[in-house]
Amino acid sequence: MKPFQQLTSQAIPLNMDNVDTDMIIPAQFLTQVTCDGYGQHLFQRLREQHTDFVFNSPKYQFSAILIAKENFGCGSSREHAVWALTQAGIKAIIAQSYSDIFYNNAIKNGVLLISLTPPIIAKMIKNAIDQNFILTIDLEKQTVTTSEDELFTFDFDPFRKTCFLKGQDDLDYLLEVTS
Amino acid sequence: MPKNIIEKIWHHHVIMQKKNHPAVLAIDKMLIHEVTSAQAFDELRRRALSVRYPTRVIATLDHSISTTKNRTVMTDEQAKIQIETLRKNTQAFGIKLYDFDSKHQGIVHVIGPELGFTQPGETIVCGDSHTSTHGAFGALAFGIGTSEIAHVLATGAILQYEPKTMKVIFKGAPAKNITSKDIVMKLIATIGVGGAKGYAIEYTGDIISSMSMEARMTICNMSIECGARAGLIAPDNTTFDYLKERFYAPKNADWERMILSWKQMISDPGCHYDKTVEIDINNLKSMVTWGINPEQAISIDELIPAFENAKEAYSYTRLNAGQPIRNIPIDWAFIGSCTNGRIEDLRLAAAILKGKKIASHVQMYVVPGSEQVMYQAMQEGLDKVFESAGAEFRMPGCSMCLAMNDDKVPPGARCISTSNRNFIGRQGPGSITHLASPATVAASAIKGKICSVEEI
């Protein structure tokens, strides 16, 4: 796992509750035996159905921070959903909440998951739709700064924080403590 | 201090708990399948690790396989490679694979219990979110990702935070044709798809005690659909009777010893739960979903509700608020999956279909959950009942529940299904899914429209 300290990027807004992992990567694309080749199928069904879907828009093509709402990543346990997101350039997600399995899968792949309150999320989504909305995440300070100079702090598990800052892998830790 | 069953199992399995750290949790059993395991074995190879406890792991083929009569013929080259990869990996790492014609191949969550591999008081994981099914035996069972599969293979443990605990009490007794599927769908509709996020659930109530193991498995299976990390039912004589003499079940003196230990795996009187939810099932009617997630479910007598934030659901399912769910025409019917692909489900559907024909415009698949279910169904002549009614009786697998193989509902077609998810495109690109019980699916297939058994 690569260390994660700071990230500055344009934000891509996903204005939906309960985004499930079938939406993120449909089952038909899960027949690979490697971790590669999922990025091009990210949100494929929604991209086919809605030409104006955010992941079709060139405006957001370099965004590394996804803003989502409630219960992001619910449904199937497929880690392919996280691989699809990272291969499409997503390095951090800011949402109201995450499903438990998705949360575990994301942190094991170095994707930083931040939870903020519904009013902050709603405002961030609006800003990201309306303008070129740039966010800076500082994990050490546990802050998100917006291009409008607003600053939000977030809670983050101390153990996970160390893992992210150092790029420490769960399996190394487990091998050490179970040996 | 009195403990609930979830806390008991949890504390029995914590190897190490440092302050401000996740627990190192010992895992008793793991089930693996072809879709989520290949990358985990690669991780072991990259690090030159072996499988620490190979006899605690079993494997089978279910997600991407063909369910046609000759299932060695596969059109998807990639899926073929995936299946061969599991065969090679299980052989190389010394893991038992229940392959085709082992007489026990089937959906992971169907074969685990069938083989007696699933036992009370254990921690059980699988790279599949419906692992909660095994909770029906009083096990703490949950889905994990591929990274965690590698962790369990290499160490027999994973990092987890202790779940909050929720007690669900089903109050009352439902009418004759109401199944455990309707009951769990009612729970999900009540608390929502994120309603149990962060919690492990214990299901209780007189109805749970009187349910068969198969009906209990249907309830626990759908725990994930309300966001629960796990869902379980305390073991009792029904559990022990089911397990006795099964392949992996302890035998003779070991059996007597384990029964004593399993009997301790119940919640103590006066124990605490972080949350309690009561669901009245006295007047419960058959449940059917109308939208694009399992909480968007109503009873057969209700009208589709109006929600501000469900535009995508109405547009995708081509339904409107205020419209009755009853009598919506269907094109497909599916009976199967880890939720409702067991012998009791097939018996229930066959009893309704016997001597009847499905509507001429409807196509119907009946896919047994395992080879054992298939053989049993054939022995009872259920396959003939399905075929005479105009349905196809196929080989075991996940099939049309997630449409990873060729079993797909065509774009724009509407399917009533005993599976667990009505997500966008779940049963094939552009397909529309209505989740329901095996009874409701069989009845609707006959009428060609969504209806309950009473209407047949």
| Full set of structural domains in chain A with CATH | 6-178 (3.20.19.10)
% of chain B exceeding 70 in pLDDT: 100
Q: What pLDDT is recorded for position B83? A: 97
At B454 the three-state DSSP class reads helix
Q: Which residues of B touch A31 (CB under 8 A)?
A: 35, 64, 76, 78-79, 81-82, 404
User: In Å, how far is A149's CA from the nearest CA of chain B?
Assistant: 31
Q: What pLDDT is recorded for position B67? A: 97
Q: What pLDDT is recorded for position B86? A: 98
Q: Which residues of B touch A71 (CB under 8 A)?
A: 193-194, 197, 227
- Strand-pair category, B23-26 with B14-16: antiparallel
d(CA B308, CA A63): 29
Q: Is this prediction's ipTM beyond 0.95?
A: yes
Q: What pLDDT is recorded for position B73? A: 83
Q: Angle at Cα B391 formed by Cα B175 and Cα B407, nearest 5°?
A: 105
pLDDT tens string B29-53:
999 999 999 999 999 999 999 999 9
Q: What is the mean pLDDT of residues A117-135?
A: 97
d(CA B213, CA B235): 10
Q: What is the mean pLDDT of residues A144-172?
A: 95
- Strand-pair category, B29-32 with B123-126: parallel
- Using the predicted structure, report yes or no on whether residue B255 has a pLDDT greater than 90: yes
Q: What pLDDT is recorded for position A1? A: 85
Q: What pLDDT is recorded for position B31? A: 98
Q: What pLDDT is recorded for position B65? A: 96
A158–chain B Cβ distance below 8 A for any pair: yes
pLDDT tens string A21-71:
999 999 999 999 999 999 999 999 999 999 999 999 999 999 999 999 999
A97–chain B Cβ distance below 8 A for any pair: yes
pLDDT tens string B390-409:
999 999 999 999 999 999 99
Q: Label residues A125-155 b or e (16+ Cβ within 10 Å = b).
A: bebbeeeebbbebebeeeebbbeeeeebebe
Q: What pLDDT is recorded for position B184? A: 98
- Using the predicted structure, report yes or no on whether residue B306 has a pLDDT greater than 90: yes
Q: What is the mean pLDDT of residues B139-144?
A: 98
Q: What pLDDT is recorded for position B179? A: 98
**What is the reported pTM?**
0.97
Q: What is the mean pLDDT of residues A11-29?
A: 96
d(CA B328, CA B450): 5
Residue of B nearest to A44 (CA): B429
Q: What pLDDT is recorded for position B139? A: 98
- Residue B75 — pLDDT band, cuts 50, 70, 90? confident
% of chain A exceeding 70 in pLDDT: 100
Q: Which residues of B touch A70 (CB under 8 A)?
A: 194
d(CA B314, CA B435): 16
CB pairs under 8 A between A and B: 151
A75–chain B Cβ distance below 8 A for any pair: yes
Residue of A nearest to B194 (CA): A71
- Using the predicted structure, report yes or no on whether residue B433 has a pLDDT greater than 90: yes
**Summary mean pLDDT of chain B:** 97
Q: What pLDDT is recorded for position B74? A: 83
Task: Report the phi/psi class of residue B33: left, alpha or beta, with left for phi > 0 and alpha for psi in -120 to 50.
Answer: beta
- Residue A179 — pLDDT band, cuts 50, 70, 90? confident
